[in-house]
Structure 1
Amino acid sequence: MAKTVEYHPATDPGAFAEQVLGRPLWPHQLEVARSDARYRVICAGRQVGKSTILSSLALFEATTRRNITVLLVSAGEVASRRLLEECTALATGSSVLGGSVLDDSKSLLTLSNGSRIISVPASQRQIRGWPVDVLILDEAAFIDPDIWRSAEPAIIARPGSKVILTSTPWGDSSHFFRALWNRGMLAPDSKVAAWHWPSSISPNVDQSLLDDIQSREPADYFRREYLAEWTDAAGAYFSEQEIMAAVASYEMCAPEDLEMWLDRPYCAAGGVDWGFAQDANALALVSVLEDHGANHEMLGDRLAFFIPWLEVRHNWPYGQFIERVVETAGKYYIRVLASETNGVGAFPTTELRRRSGEARRDMNVASVVTDVRRKQSGFSMIKGLLQQNRLVLPREPELLKQLRALEFEQLPSGSMRIAVPERAGHDDLAMALMQAVSSLSLEGAVRHRPVEVRPLDPDAFVTTVSGLRVPIAARPVMFHDSFMTWPRGQEKGSGW
């Protein structure tokens, strides 16, 4: 008769998750949780429980060991806050752990045993210097290799330190995540072990629905998103090379963290995509990058654009999101904001214009109809800026995924249909970005003053693959004429 193994929550992460957190782990999660490998690497599809395993292991390590540091590094700011929020909710909701939480904020959870869970977006400045016992990287395939080189040394002086990396597939074989995953799959040992989690591994997945999705979706999309396999997307509007060459690990600036601009505002153009039912409302801002002359040799008198802020809100009523946009316009000077009126956008656009006026925001809320030619105009402008090395993208996984998922089809009329395939995920951030970029004036994006030649601190900048230098604490140029009075592009019933 086989002997039943009894696990104790103080020594076993599976028992801890079940008895302390009240959230039992699935078999594939338990396999990772109970692994002895120092580096554990997971390539995963949708709805397989990535955040569950990460938050459970973070709390297990922090609770069962005294005075340790767990560092959560996420590819984007939104993701970094979300993962720590899940850890905090699990800890405070546990009858065992609730009293041990001494302090919690958007970036730090402190326990009574002296352990800390710290969450940061992928930034060399925020990662350097931490002595780390457990290093967790979420959406690791989207994290810049230079960030990895800054984070990995943090564990070398800590006995028993561990590294856990999870991500959906992205990037080529030279990227550290894919290289570690390949090593762990081909030759797992006590140092590196890897797991492959397709969506079908989850006990909650409806296999018949999964089969239906597979029957009507492009093969490369299904392989990437559900089978967790690396693919090279055919028919993609933006190539992966175009996208990744423009990505930089700079720190976006949330409106609430922005210095009050008073008489010297940070100018931006904005775009809003309104959601319906399960879709989300999204806001994206685009502005001229203040690079302090660092790119003058590459660009000459031309200036680069970047995204100072973007956000997406699920299940928010229109009124709440409208107030958020109005609040943002009180910190950033949004010269023009393109707001879609077709679909469900007519009412929220009208209401946004009314609330903006009541709040005395100097923001031109431009009603636009997003038809085929408007999308072609806006996305072709993004593509052109990427190819000219004049647009910097933040390392935000959801935005990068949406841009990569955009596909094009040549129509009989000669125009081009550009869209994310149905059920291929959301396109809200990509659409909001397209609306914002359509309000930029390339003719105005030139220097109006001599470049100040002065030494630049290399530690204050990050560099894109294309060679653009971007301040880590990136900010827009103040008071600039690089914005249209009305978004460009074809509108129904009107000319160009």
Structure 2
Amino acid sequence: MTTAPDITADDFRAGLRSADKFAEHLVGQPLWPHQRDMVTNPARYRMMCAGRQVGKSRALAIEALHTAYTRPGSLTLLISAGETASLRLLEECASLAMGSPMLSGSVLDDHKKQLTLSTGSRIISVPASQKQIRGWPVDLLIIDEAGFVDNEIWRAAEPAIIARPGSRIILSSSPWGGIDHFFRQLWNRGMTAPDERYASFHWPTSLNPNVSADDLAAIQEREPSHYFNREYLAEWTDEAGAFFTTTEIDEATAPYTLLDPMTARSDYRVVGGIDYGMAHDANAVVYLAASGDPDLNANRYGDDPVFWIPAIEQHYRMAYADFIDRLVDHSRHLHVQRFISETNGVGAMPTQILRDRITQQTMAGGRHSMVNAVTTTAARKNAGFSRIKVLLQQGRLVLPQHPDLLRQLHALTYEQMDSGTLKISVPENIGHDDLAMALMQAASVINTNSASAIAWPSTLGGSGDILSTARGTRIPTQPSCSPNESIFWGGKGDKV
């Protein structure tokens, strides 16, 4: 990061006038032309549809800091579909502030959820929860990855600016969401008829002056068009070649609360799908559970269980030994019925070590868990992802609003082979597939053949508001897990 130089009186006055001058003179981070166009636009609602590596986080952080510095006592609220993403944006604000002589007195609280400036202004990161959002009198509302945020969250957030003169909203996202989604509708409104209230900005990756046209051309040549157009051209696509459609994924999401697997209560019965990372991928685990609140959907699905994802973890550049330690710790809190651990590539040895550790824990009197070693074949991926697709179409799998997982599911492509079989894969070099593969492993052991694999209610049940997906599937804000172990006694070993 470039440290701001000594600031003159003229620099100071320029920084107070506009966000682009503020970035240049007070923060020491001159903006690129497309960023400058956004931060200087006077519209009350500004929508950015952005590709990869185009600098949206820096632009959002500059806008947040400028508001906080030039409007003493103001409040900026940062929301994202995933809490981790909004915290990363707050950390970007803190990093820029600490590097500026004028802003270095800023304080980030111990929980890294609030940045307080010497002006008395606050920048706060909150999860995408109606209860967390309601009631704030906000001067600047920033929703990052807005395409992944539920319409109901938007309805709870938008009124926050009504009672604050001069308050503004910035919505930023990659192109995600159906035609009825609030981000897509507002972005289209600002593109087709911009005025003093609405302004939209289209930021393909090519706007980044550090990205070469040759590199983009090489990526475009080797990647599926629907993926390149979405991730680099920042365009909504017709999704030709995508295994899961945006509609299937979008209509299955709900803003329920993910668990921390290191502190979760012990009655959460889950299975954990594991994918070991190498090179650019992460070590990942996705936990899958059957809902312990079957009465909510009994009129639609009878005794058939509805599934949800209680917890997700992904760790880049984490040693396998450390990742295994975390999985063992998870099993001391969550009731992990089975870990489904791949043995492909680097996975054989970590799987064996995990199995040995879990066995030792069980023999020492700990909760009984199993580790099933699996080889990820084309047939296994076909069956596992096809099962997920059917569950999504039925409305019996509810996905969290976790942008990384949703993107990876959408990155899956299919190809009809000469033999007539379907090849499902994530093309190389298009990003990560660790979460999608981990979910596939967990879903592969759902028992579809036994009459005993039915929805049983949890003793404690879920809590919080009752949410609903676009398909009408209902789930509590904090769901519970069915205690029926028969639900996940499907596929053994390499069998699906």
TM-score (norm 1): 0.90
Deviation of 1:109 after TM superposition, in Å, equals 2.5
Q: Which residue of 2 aligns with 1:18?
A: 24
Q: Give the partner amino acid of 2:284.
A: A
Alignment partners' CA distance in 1, 2:46 and 2:90:
20
Counterpart amino acid of residue 352 in structure 1: L
- Aligned partner of 1:228 in structure 2 is 234
**Matched position secondary structure for 1:294:** helix
- AA at the equivalent of 1:300: G
2:80 to 62, 65, 74: 74
Match of 1:337 among 336, 339, 347: 339
Deviating more after overlay: 48-57 vs 96-105: 96-105
Confirm or deny that 1:291 pairs with 2:293. Answer: yes
Q: Distance in 2 between matches of 1:468 and 1:257?
A: 27
* Alignment-derived partner of residue 162 in structure 2: 156
* Structure 2 match to 1:270: 272
Q: From 399, 413, 417, give the equivalent of 1:411.
A: 417
Counterpart-to-counterpart distance in 2, 1:147 and 1:449: 28
Q: Using the aligned pairs only, state the percent identity.
A: 50
Return the match for 2:146 from 137, 140, 146: 140
Counterparts in 2 of 1:449 and 1:313: CA distance versus 1, 3 Å: closer
Q: Which runs of 5+ in 1 are unaligned?
A: 491-495
Task: State the one-letter code of the partner of 2:477.
Answer: I
> What's the counterpart of residue 126 of structure 1?
132
Structure 2 SS opposite 1:120: strand
Give the 3-state SS of the residue equivalent to 1:352 in structure 2: helix
Asked if residue 348 in structure 1 is aligned to residue 354 in structure 2, the reply is no
Structure 1 residue matching 2:123: 3-state secondary structure: strand
Query: Which of 386, 389, 396 is equivalent to 2:392?
Result: 386
2:3 aligns with none
Are 1:477 and 2:482 matched, yes or no? yes
Amino acid at match of 2:225: A
> Structure 1, residues 235-261: CA drift from partner, whole Å, max 9, x if none?
2222222222211111111124524x3
Distance 1:447 1:435, change over 3 A: closer
Paired residue for 2:369, among 356, 363, 368? Answer: 363
Query: d(CA) in 2 for partners of 1:168 and 1:450?
Result: 38
Shift, 1:478, TM fit? 4.1
Distance 1:126 1:434 in 2: 32
For residues 23 and 102 of structure 1, the distance between their equivalents in structure 2, rounded to whole angstroms, comes to 20
Measure, in 1, the Cα distance between the counterparts of 2:185 and 2:493.
43
Match of 2:321 in 1: 319
CA contact (8 A) 1:141 1:169 kept: yes
Contact 1:336 / 1:485 at 8 angstroms: preserved in 2? no
AA in 2 matched with 1:287: A
Alignment map for 1:246-261 (pairs within 5 Å): 246-259=252-265, 261=266
Matched-pair contact (CA < 8 Å) for 1:140–1:177: yes
2:429 alignment partner, SS class: coil
Distance apart, 1:450 and its partner CA: 11
Structure 2 contact 52–205 (Cα < 8 Å) conserved: yes
Q: Does structure 1 conserve the Cα–Cα contact (< 8 Å) formed by 2:458 and 2:480? A: no
1:446 pairs with 420, 440, 454, which one?
A: 454
Q: How far apart are 1:71 and its partner, in Å?
A: 0.9
Contact 2:282 2:434 in 1 (8 A): yes
Distance 1:359 1:97 in 2: 50
Question: Is the counterpart of residue 192 in structure 1 residue 189 in structure 2?
Answer: no
Hey, what's the Cα distance between the residues in 2 that align with 1:164 and 1:211?
A: 31
Secondary structure at 1:472 match in 2: strand
Pick one of 466, 469, 472 that aligns with 2:471.
466
CA distances 1:163-207 after superposition (whole Å, capped 9, x unpaired) = 001111112332221121112122222211111111100011021
Q: Which amino acid aligns with 1:268?
A: V
Q: Please name the residue that 1:493 is paired with.
A: none
CA distance in 2, matches of 1:12, 1:446: 60
The residue matched to 2:27 in structure 1 has which SS?
A: coil
Q: Give the superposition deviation at 1:357.
A: 4.0
Which letter does structure 1 place at the counterpart of 2:454?
Answer: V
What's the CA shift string for 1:328-375, capped at 9, x where partnerless? 222211111111111121222223223434555632121111010110
2:435 to 429, 440, 444: 429
Task: Confirm or deny: 8 A CA contact 1:134 1:155 kept in the other structure.
Answer: yes
Match of 1:324, SS state, is helix
Query: 1:449 offset after TM fit, Å?
Result: 6.6
Is 2:75–2:124's contact at 8 Å kept on the other side of the alignment? yes
2:181 to 140, 151, 175: 175
1:86 to 74, 78, 92: 92
Could you tell me how far 1:102 is from its partner in structure 2? 6.0
Does the residue aligned with 2:209 lie in a helix, a strand or coil? coil
CA distance in 1, matches of 2:375, 2:308: 24
User: What is aligned with 1:306?
Assistant: 308
Q: In the aligned structure 2, how far is the partner of 1:205 from the partner of 1:110?
A: 34
Name the SS for the 2:295 alignment partner: coil
Which residue in 1 is equivalent to 2:7?
none
* CA RMSD of superposed structures (Å): 2.5
Structure 2: segments with no counterpart, 5+ residues: 1-9
> Could you tell me how far apart the structure 1 residues matched to 2:283 and 2:459 are?
39
1:330 and 1:86 map into 2 onto residues whose CA distance is 34
Query: What is the number of equivalent residue pairs in this alignment?
Result: 480
How big is the shift at 1:447? 3.6
Contact kept? 1:73, 1:121, Cα under 8 Å:
yes
Q: Output the CA distance in 1 between the equivalents of 2:63 and 2:110.
A: 18
- Change in Cα spacing, 1:200 to 1:489, as seen in structure 2 (3 Å) is same
Distance 1:445 1:150, change over 3 A: farther
Alignment of 1:22-101 (within 5 A): 22-101=28-107
Provide the rounded CA distance (Å) in 2 between the counterparts of 1:481 and 1:112: 58
Contact kept in structure 2, 1:272 and 1:338, CA below 8 Å: yes
Indicate conservation of the 8 Å contact 2:465/2:477, yes or no: yes
Please report how far the alpha carbon of residue 221 of structure 1 lies from its aligned counterpart in structure 2 after TM superposition: 2.0
Three-state SS of the structure 1 residue aligned to 2:313 is strand
Bigger mean CA offset, 420-429 vs 132-141: 420-429
CA distance in 1, matches of 2:274, 2:137: 41
Q: Matched residues in 2 for 1:369 and 1:391: separation?
A: 24
- Per-residue CA deviations over 1:434-467 (Å, capped at 9, x if unaligned) read 0111122244441457999x9x99x711100111
CA contact (8 A) 1:438 1:488 kept: no
Conserved 8 A contact 1:286-1:306: yes
Query: Partners in 1 of 2:178 and 2:458 — Cα distance?
Result: 40
CA shift in 2, pair 1:281/1:92, >3 Å: same
